[in-house]
Amino acid sequence: MKKTSTRLADGRELIYYDLRDDTVRDAADRRPLDRTVTTSEIRRDPLLGDSVAVASHRQGRTYHPPADQCPLCPTRGERLSEIPDSSYDVVVFENRFPSLAGDSGRCEVVCFTSDHDASFADLTEEQARLVLDAWTDRTSELSHLPSVEQVFCFENRGAEIGVTLGHPHGQIYAYPFTTPRTALMLRSLAAHKEATGGENLFDAVLEQELAGERVVLEGEHWAAFVPYAAHWPYEVHLYPKRRVPDMLALDEAARTEFPQVYLELLRRFDRIFGEGEPPTPYIAAWHQAPFGALEEFDGVTRDDFALHLELFTIRRTSGKLKFLAGSESGMSVFINDVPPERAAERLREVASS
């Protein structure tokens, strides 16, 4: 992998990740952009104890542009975009309309391919490995920023999810705090460790799931399963079999196998609802250990946390979505219409080709 860092016309950082070491990236951003001005602010809810990012400047962000005006496609001729070069393998750049900025963290966009009509599932194993390497590099770099406590790599796919740009891409949020969902995991981890005299909860969950009926895919180094208490109609968790706290700690064997397992999983997701159906909308969310202090989680260290990916769709059946209504939105109590065992069975049934 070759990494080349440059600056866009408004001062934002852009990084090319290339498969070939002899690739030259010297194209300049020719757009007449003013310096980016953001208004991101973090406000803490005194009752719930969580935090909300207030970012009014995002009201003016790019919204469903036509394909020939996509800002994530490479620059070609006089069609100028966020990527100055005429082609790319993987590109990461600072979001022009970030939810988090400055002392409030940082937001980045990850473009998986220059092919506007592709998806992550269309990538080759070599391309998918390059994305993993880019995620890993950004996790490392962002973790060293003084304002960052947790790094979250994710992909939103599909208009139903709320995606406003159709080009295959994901995002990275670098939060200045430990997110509420991670904090819940850490509290459960601490309680289980104390109650069992030191047993790791992630290890126990993985062992139990691998022995059960909800396994979807299993390789030598990775395992994918529908969790016992899945919140979403089709939800799969992907774990490395050797517990590591973050992407930085993955060994070469796990990195090599990841594209094979993940691409197969995504391709199966696209076939859940049968031939002729539109691509399955999904969220793919990487959970990594926070880089900040963990004193509030008694006895827990970063090494106790288990890196894993949670992949889920809001589509519950053909033509129908799972909406977060009163119980889910008002009380955070999910009601799942699809039994996890049936979801796992369906994902085993569908072949990717």
169 noted as active-site residue: yes
* Tokens 């090494």, residue located: 303
Task: Give the residue from 249, 266, 290 showing the smallest Cα distance to 122.
Answer: 266
Distance (Å, rounded) from C-alpha 340 to C-alpha 118?
Answer: 30
CB 349 within 8 A of CB 342: no
Distance (Å, rounded) from C-alpha 128 to C-alpha 265?
Answer: 13
For residue 259, the surrounding DSSP H or E stretch is: helix 252-269
Tokens linked to 203: 């290890």
- DSSP structure class, residue 247: G
Tokens linked to 312: 């889920």
Task: Give the residue from 45, 40, 72 showing the smallest Cα distance to 59.
Answer: 40
Which residues are within 8 A (CB) of 48 and not within 5 positions of it... i.e. 6 or more apart? 180
Tokens linked to 126: 């070599």
Strand partners, 110: 92, 170
Distance (Å, rounded) from C-alpha 155 to C-alpha 165?
Answer: 12
Task: Give the residue from 219, 216, 222 showing the smallest Cα distance to 234.
Answer: 216
Q: Which is the catalytic residue, given 169, 192, 221, 237?
A: 169
Point out the residues that are catalytic: 169
